[in-house]
Structure 1
Amino acid sequence: MHTDQGKTSIADTVVQKISGIAAREVPGVHAMGNAARRAFDQITERIPGSQTNASGGVSVEKGEKQTAIDVTIVVEYGASIVEVSNNIRRNIISAVERTTGLEVIEVNVTVSDVHLPTDDDNTNAEDSNQTRTSSTGKELE
C-alpha cells in the first residue's frame, strides 16, 4: 500500500494469523487444519514455551491490495457446515479488511473432518492409560 508518506508492506503470515484467529472464534469450529497439521500442532503444544500456531490450517494468496484465503477446519458434530462456513467467511473478511486494509476477494473453506463427542472420550482414555515418566526415567503419578 502506497501513500504520499511511504509504503506499508504486510507479510502473508500476518494475514494467515488474523484469519486463523477469526476462524477459531466461530462457534462450531473444533480445530483448524488437516489430520497431519493437527498432529504436528498437538506435539508442539507439549513443548514447554511453545505457542499455539494461530496460522495453522490457513493459506493465503496476497497481492498489493487484495487477498484470497483458504481455510481448512474440523467442524463439531451437529453444527451446520453451511452456517459455520458462512460465519467463518464473514468473520475473516471483517477481521482482515479492518486490520490490514486489504480487500478479501474470497475465503474458501474446506471441512476436513467432523469432531464427534466420543473422540474426546477416546483421547482421555488413551491419556489416562499412559504411564508418564520424568526425564530421568522415573514413573510419575
Structure 2
Amino acid sequence: MTTQTAPAAKDLSTPQTGRPPHTTAVSGGTAGADQPAPDRGRTSIADVVVVKVAGIAAREIPGVHDMGGGLSRTIGAVRDRVPGGRANVGRGVKVEVGERQTAVDLDLVVEYGVSVMDVARDVRENVVDAVERITGLEVVEVNIIVNDVHLPDEDDPENTTGSRVE
C-alpha cells in the first residue's frame, strides 16, 4: 500500500496520475474534514503486490512444482542458495494492473502424473480468490502456460546430496 503523508518526501508521482510509478489507485477517496474517515485519502496498490499475491496463491496448489521459465528457475535456484537471500515468490508471474481490474499471466512447472487441466483450474481459482480478496481488484483473466513437467527421478539442485564418487 502506498501513501504520501510527508510533504518533505521526494515526489515520485507521475504527472498524468499523481501516483507513484507502478501503482494503481484502488479507491479514489476525497479530502476534507467533512468526509467520513474511510473516504479521506486514496489507496494505491503497487504492481509488485499483485505479483506476490498471485505467486504465493499459485504455489499453494498441490501439483505445482515450480514457476517460471528454465532460465529464471536456474537463476532463482542460485539466488535461493545465497545466504540471507529470499525466495522470489514473483518468479513466473506477470501482471497488468488497471484502475479497478488486473490480468495475471503464470508460467508453471507441474508434477508428473497430475492432471494439468485440474492443476490449472485450481491455480486459476486460488489466484482469483486471493488477488480479489487481498487487493480488491477484479481479476479479469488468469492465463496459465505450463512450460515443463517435473519427473519423479529428476534431482532438484537443492536436494543433491553429494558427489557420485567418494
Shorter-chain TM-score above 0.5: yes
Between the aligned residues of both structures, percent identity stands at 52
Gaps of 5+ in 1: 132-141
Provide the aligned length of Structure 1 versus Structure 2: 131
TM-score (norm 1): 0.87
Q: Which residue matches 1:96?
A: 131
Question: Does structure 1 conserve the Cα–Cα contact (< 8 Å) formed by 2:77 and 2:157?
Answer: no
- Code of the residue aligned with 2:45 in structure 1: it is I
DSSP 3-state at the match of 2:155:
helix
Equivalent-residue separation in structure 2 for 1:88 and 1:103 (angstroms): 16
Residue 6 (structure 1) shift: 1.5
Q: Which residue matches 1:56?
A: 91
DSSP 3-state at the match of 2:113:
coil
Gaps of 5+ in 2: 1-25, 30-38
- Code of the residue aligned with 1:96 in structure 2: it is V
Equivalent-residue separation in structure 2 for 1:70 and 1:53 (angstroms): 16
Query: 27, 31, 48: which one pairs with 2:62?
Result: 27
Q: Aligned Cα RMSD in Å?
A: 2.1
* Higher RCO, Cα 8 Å, sep 6+: 1
- 1:30-66 per-residue CA deviation (whole Å, 9 max, x = no partner) reads 0000101100000111111000001000000000100
Query: 119, 124, 142: which one pairs with 1:84?
Result: 119
Q: Which residue matches 1:138?
A: none
The 5-angstrom pairing of residues 1-141 of structure 1 reads: 1=26, 2-3=28-29, 4-120=39-155, 128-129=162-163
